[in-house]
Amino acid sequence: MTDTSREPLSPLRWENGVLMVLDQRALPGRTEWLVARSADDVVVAIRDMAVRGAPAIGIAAAWGVVLAACSGGREGVVAALPRLAAARPTAVNLHWALERMEGVLGRAPDAELATALEAEARLIQEEDLAQNRRMAELGAAFIAPGARVLTHCNTGALATAGIGTALGVIREAHRQGKLAAVYATETRPWMQGARLTIWELSQEGIPATLITEGAAGQLMQREGIDWLIVGADRITANGDTANKIGTYSLAVLAKAHGAKVMVVAPGSTIDLRLPDGGSIPIEQREAAEILRAAGLTEAPPGIAVSNPAFDVTPALMIDVIVTERGAVEQPGAGRMQALFSEQKQ
């Protein structure tokens, strides 16, 4: 069982009618909490990457709805919903959480609206934490003793209500004494792996080695890994998976070197309305992110910059998708439908 004796780290706290957001842009050098007093504050926090990770984005958006209700009642919520939904387009958890809050909006009377929305946001956050514990146990069961694992981006407590998705599996496998080595990519251009994943692992006392994305092929060729373990921002009906840019490249390398690929994500990440990965909207972020990462204030004149935040890994390259409802091995449309047929479409 996952160790629950410690209070899990969470990037979001509801305190005295405001949302406290751990500013992940400042980590690991500084621990800074932003105070979100309005839905628009939450939009900015999501858009500007102060809060990131698909589950955490959904939770933050739910609290954004509560803030809108507290200040503007039902009309305030109606006005805030599209702004929150547009904060980041790829993570389906955002839209899933807002749909749940809309459900409360449709059935709660005006006098009880803010209280009912707060209860729903709290439930979404608590459910995510419980789901992470369950996924950690299910995913760790696939890992054999002595395994060497690689992860990409940050999928830990900072990306969720606590514990994490893919990183939660790694934590649990470490607790069970199964891991011989853990590797994490830098994850450019925001360096979530270098700044956040390595920091989280160090907080847990889990030895890990940081590599650049460009070093992953050599690592697999010379030393080998057993599992590439990643999260997801959206998974379609056939099992295609959108995750942080660079995941697809790592999956290609993993399959070429005989390693397995595990995707760990809650059921709220499954989008049965989309048939395959070609239907997933891919967020394009501003060129300045790449330029800053390269130490440039501006690009040479006339240069084009492409900065997609995500790529899509086809289901045929994934060995198992782990959710709180169970694991789908060799995912495809039939197997995904069998597990998630009860999910609202």
Total tally of structural domains belonging to the chain: 2
Instruction: Tell me: do 147 and 258 sit in the same domain.
Output: yes
Give pLDDT tens digits for 234-269: 999 999 999 999 999 999 999 999 999 999 999 999
Q: How confident is the model at residue 300 (pLDDT cuts 50, 70, 90)?
A: confident
End residue of a domain, out of 129, 147, 162: 129
What is the average pLDDT across 271-291? 93
Percent of the residues in the chain that have a pLDDT greater than 70, as a whole number: 96
Angle at 268 between CA 332 and CA 63, to 5 degrees: 165
- Is 3 annotated as catalytic? no
Instruction: Exactly one of 41, 128, 233, 271 is catalytic; name it.
Output: 233
What is the average pLDDT across 139-162? 97
Record the pTM. Answer: 0.92
Instruction: Tell me: do 186 and 209 sit in the same domain.
Output: yes
Instruction: Tell me: do 137 and 98 sit in the same domain.
Output: no
How far is residue 313's CA from residue 284's CA, in Å, rounded to a whole number? Answer: 17
Q: How confident is the model at residue 340 (pLDDT cuts 50, 70, 90)?
A: confident
How far is residue 50's CA from residue 11's CA, in Å, rounded to a whole number? Answer: 10
How far is residue 284's CA from residue 54's CA, in Å, rounded to a whole number? Answer: 16
The first and second tokens of residue 255, run together, are 């399959």
| Residue 197 structural domain | 133-340
> Does residue 60 belong to any structural domain of this protein?
yes
> Does residue 1 belong to any structural domain of this protein?
no
End residue of a domain, out of 129, 158, 179: 129
What pLDDT is recorded for position 151? 98
Instruction: Tell me: do 320 and 181 sit in the same domain.
Output: yes
Instruction: Tell me: do 119 and 168 sit in the same domain.
Output: no
pLDDT of 132 strictly over 60: yes
Instruction: Tell me: do 244 and 120 sit in the same domain.
Output: no
The continuous run of DSSP H or E covering 192 comes out as: helix 192-192
Exposure string over 64-81, b if 16+ CB within 10 A, otherwise e: bbbbbbbeeeeebbeebb
CATH number of 87's domain: 1.20.120.420
End residue of a domain, out of 129, 154, 172: 129
